[in-house]
Structure 1
Amino acid sequence: MGERNWRKIWQHVAIVLVIVLALMSAAVGGAVALNVDHLGRLAQVLELIHSQYLEKVSGDQLVDGAIKGMVDSLGDPYSTYMDASDNRQLMDLIYGQFGGVGIVLSLKDPNKLIVLQTIKNTPAAKAGILPGDVIVKIDNVDTSSISQDKAVALMRGDPGTKVTLEVYRESEKKTLTMTMTRENISVPTVEGEPLPGQPDIAYIDISQFSTDTGTELAQVLKSMDIQKYKGVILDLRYNHGGELNAAVKVASYFVTPGPVVYIVDKDGHVTTKNAENTYINKPLVVLVNEETASAAEIVSGAIRDRKTGTLVGVKTFGKGIVQTIFQLDSGTSVKLTTAKYLTPDKISINKKGIEPDVQVKLPKGENATVLPLDTNFDPQLATALRTLQAKINR
């Protein structure tokens, strides 16, 4: 590695040391001297790599590794350093479009890549990948040794490129290998239609919260002419969350003006996110399950606390903390947990979840009928319909 490159690294290190010392001085005053050894250790390791390490190492690799290690040391699974590729993919997800195969992964088991669903008309759906399939290899990379975020990054890529997935299908006790060509995946986050067999009941499914979800919902409600329906079933099952402000906009259609969520930062400062004046004022039932998380729990919690609807299903995931993405140089970013949220009744649901008003479990092995095509509803949806009809007939 050239001396010019190493001078650049040492400039980065010097800046880091100055920042760390300034932060330590502000936090602990005279105790700074007790921690100087840690900073000296960092400089010592860099010097050892420079003078002793066999292979060539780029400056960017070392700086990225140092930052990643610092964030990982927080022990927070939701705080992470993202290189330029990871950051670009996250932004694509937030804005609802990316190059990939159209697979949504389950949160249920963090140690396995379990397919939750495939997006309609995408390469994964066309290839025959099914909910419950376990992805064991991505282009010969063993998925048991990588994070879910890394797996998602490997499956995504430029449209027109190929990716090979090896999946294990428990129902058939066999492993399948499928090669797919990536496409531009545009994810519609809101779909609405009359419930099959119930033309006076509006069924609305929200799969995630991207920046456009509030606008999508407004368009769906308008195209359905929502006021002609007697009641609404809102399906938030398997919704892993997303953008906070989108959740507030969505909640505004299902609660009256007033608090949707309270955001509490590290200093205890509270920001209140209020509903807009767009309440549709219809009898409402909300479907939730163990994978209803984050922004979807904000909407569910607001509806429960403001008493504008009934929750049916099982206890939600329990992610009541907020992450902020800070853009850095060279297209990189760091995502940090910066606040917690409380429901309108000032309840923290982090690691607790939200208990539904009506508990209904799916039988083992039975899939939820999200966006049903006929009247063969799963037990949760069937209970939601009966609950809504009882509300309408009061």
Structure 2
Amino acid sequence: MAEPGEFSLPAAERQIIQAAIAPPSRLGSTLAALLATLAFSTPALAAEPSPCPPDWEAQICELKSVVEILKKDHLTEIDVPAFLDETIRLGVKTLPYAGFLNAAEQQERVKKDERARNGAPGIGIIFETLADGLHIIDVVPDAPAAQAGIRNGDVVVAMDGNSMAGINNADIAKYAGGDVGTPLKLTLLRGAKQQRLEFTLLRAIIKQRPASAKRLPGDILYTRMSSFPEPAIGDYIDTVQAARKDGAPVKAVILDLRLNGGGALNASIGIIGLFTGRNKTAMVTLQRDDKIQHRISTNWPDYDLPVLKGQDPLAPLESDDWWRSVPLIVLIDGQSASAAEATAAALKDLGRARLLGTPTYGKGMAQTGVGTRDGTYLGWTYARNLRPNGCPMEGYGVVPDWIVGPRKDADMEGVLLLYREVDIPRAPYANKPNPDPFADVRKERQHWRDRRASAKPDPLKSALPQKEFGSAKDWQLQQALNALAGRPVQTASVNPLFMPAQPACIKLDQ
């Protein structure tokens, strides 16, 4: 998933820009007087023809005029291509999940995608960057970090002696990058006692392996998807099939999509089809002012991806009814976004699974992109995603059947007020008919956050994400096991004020 607000222009920057183009009042009055004098002392002149083609927006012509003035009169010679790239970038990133890359950035993006598909040197940790260091939220199975005993919840405070406190992502890549076989020294803090540990790991080729699985007592198979990269379908199938062969028949499956920020939408469609079978509506997209409906089904090739090379990974499993009949529970939380929440929603709406956890992030939009003639790249949001039942996810997310907090004593008010899609403001010009549909909800949620801040709540009780994935300390997992065993599920008590509103659903075209 893209980071929330990644392409939004901060309000402070907008204010600076507005101030920069507003003339001082005294200068404005002087110019007005001068223009008035000229109006009476010179004959009227015929309007000059516009130098811009008739199909140009007036503001494009204005930009051209600005550039010409700067080229002629600016104190120093300016880099016009870089200036225009940055102008486009600032405008595009104010739109939801949109972005502009110049030619060099696009080339690096292509290389990064290739490395993601084919593997790149690394140690195999997934982390979130916080003020005190890199908080590990997942460890790639069989990678150097996992083999050395590094765990979820460990905090990387230094790499090769360089502090990770307050570091930005660009610098992390600089320190973490290196060739296969070269060492990387990590300094970690572990547990409540902040035990200091040091590891020296040798970098290896790390390929995206988003799926993991392990057997739990009672022949329950716990499976986890950390993201939805292009290889996700095949990786999940291989992981589950290997676990099925290793022991007695599997009686039920738990699919963990917590902290899964999404990825390739087609990969999620393949997982939906894996569990539901053919000819099902996995999703409907609304395009261009919500007037164009497009049905996405669980049939091939609706989940085709370049990495699959034209081969349907579900075809060999059509005769294996286990996939479509095994009891299934899906775990979700406020960090389940985009393709992850679409997967959960479809499995629920199609009657294939029940959901347990907390409401999802609520992204509910799909992105696409195109390379331009000069090698730049433009990405933008092209569709709103609807669940198979016709309900939108944008701003609402997916509400589970069982609302269970990340811990037994979780502060659910704090959990539900953590930032989600509904909290991201929209540029007022991004949607002329409905500029900001969640403005009132956003204001109310911030009001409750401010009230909580003054009360100084315990951050440990509301902190997400759950880091004890798949262990006996995983409270949500334990409740899923209760549900599968027919035991009572200990759900959380929640204030309806903090829950997502009921969305306005539509009737889908047949």
* TM-score bracket, shorter-length normalisation: 0.7 to 0.9
Q: Deviations over 1:81-139 (max 9, x none)?
A: 370464146414752633334332349x7998643223244455548475263769999
Alignment root-mean-square deviation, CA:
4.1
- Counterpart pick for 1:384 among 480, 483, 488: 480
Contact 1:342 1:348 in 2 (8 A): yes
Contact 1:259 1:272 in 2 (8 A): yes
Name the residue aligned to 1:319: 363
Measured in 2, the distance between the counterparts of 1:135 and 1:340 equals 40
Measured in 1, the distance between the counterparts of 2:218 and 2:107 equals 46
Matches for 1:147-226 after TM superposition, within 5 Å: 150=170, 153-154=173-174, 157-160=177-180, 171-172=192-193, 182-195=203-216, 197-199=217-219, 201-225=220-244
Matches for 1:173-322 after TM superposition, within 5 Å: 182-195=203-216, 197-199=217-219, 201-225=220-244, 228-256=249-277, 257-268=279-290, 269-276=292-299, 280-322=324-366
Contact 1:87 1:332 in 2 (8 A): no
Alignment coverage as a number of residue pairs: 352
Contact 1:138 1:151 in 2 (8 A): no
Contact 2:253 2:326 in 1 (8 A): yes
Q: Deviations over 1:19-54 (max 9, x none)?
A: xx77x937xxxxx446522331134345556x615x
Structure 1's 254 and 45: CA in aligned 2 closer, same or farther, altered over 3 A?
A: farther
Q: Which amino acid aligns with 2:179?
A: P
Name the residue aligned to 1:38: 63
Identify the structure with the greater strand proportion: 1
Name the residue aligned to 1:87: 109
Give the drift of 1:172. 4.7
Give the drift of 1:330. 8.1
Name the residue aligned to 1:370: 469
Measured in 2, the distance between the counterparts of 1:71 and 1:317 equals 23
Structure 1's 343 and 46: CA in aligned 2 closer, same or farther, altered over 3 A?
A: farther
Aligned partner of residue 389 in structure 2, secondary structure: coil
> Structure 1 stretch 168-177 or stretch 213-222: which is displaced more?
168-177
Aligned partner of residue 230 in structure 2, secondary structure: coil
> Structure 1 stretch 340-349 or stretch 165-174: which is displaced more?
165-174
Q: Which amino acid aligns with 1:184?
A: I
Measured in 1, the distance between the counterparts of 2:267 and 2:124 equals 22
Q: Deviations over 1:342-374 (max 9, x none)?
A: 1111211223221111111123379544344xx
Matches for 1:88-107 after TM superposition, within 5 Å: 88=110, 90-92=112-114, 95=117, 97-106=119-128
Contact 1:136 1:144 in 2 (8 A): no
Contact 2:257 2:340 in 1 (8 A): yes
Measured in 1, the distance between the counterparts of 2:70 and 2:405 equals 54
Contact 1:94 1:243 in 2 (8 A): no
Q: Deviations over 1:313-350 (max 9, x none)?
A: 11112221112233357875333222221111121122
Q: Give structure 1 stretches of 5+ with no counterpart.
A: 1-20, 27-31
Q: Which amino acid aligns with 2:55?
A: S
Measured in 1, the distance between the counterparts of 2:347 and 2:483 equals 15
Q: TM-score, normalised by structure 2?
A: 0.58
- Counterpart pick for 1:340 among 368, 377, 384: 384
Q: TM-score, normalised by structure 1?
A: 0.72
Name the residue aligned to 1:25: 55
Contact 2:156 2:186 in 1 (8 A): no
Q: Which amino acid aligns with 2:113?
A: M
Aligned partner of residue 399 in structure 2, secondary structure: coil
Aligned partner of residue 214 in structure 2, secondary structure: strand
Aligned partner of residue 64 in structure 2, secondary structure: helix
Aligned partner of residue 275 in structure 2, secondary structure: coil
> Structure 1 stretch 160-169 or stretch 214-223: which is displaced more?
160-169
Aligned partner of residue 393 in structure 2, secondary structure: coil
Measured in 2, the distance between the counterparts of 1:271 and 1:339 equals 9
Q: Deviations over 1:145-194 (max 9, x none)?
A: 84x5x466546645246777787778456998988664321121222332
Measured in 2, the distance between the counterparts of 1:361 and 1:320 equals 23
Q: Give structure 2 stretches of 5+ with no counterpart.
A: 1-51, 300-313, 408-460, 488-510
Contact 1:156 1:182 in 2 (8 A): no
Structure 1's 314 and 134: CA in aligned 2 closer, same or farther, altered over 3 A?
A: farther
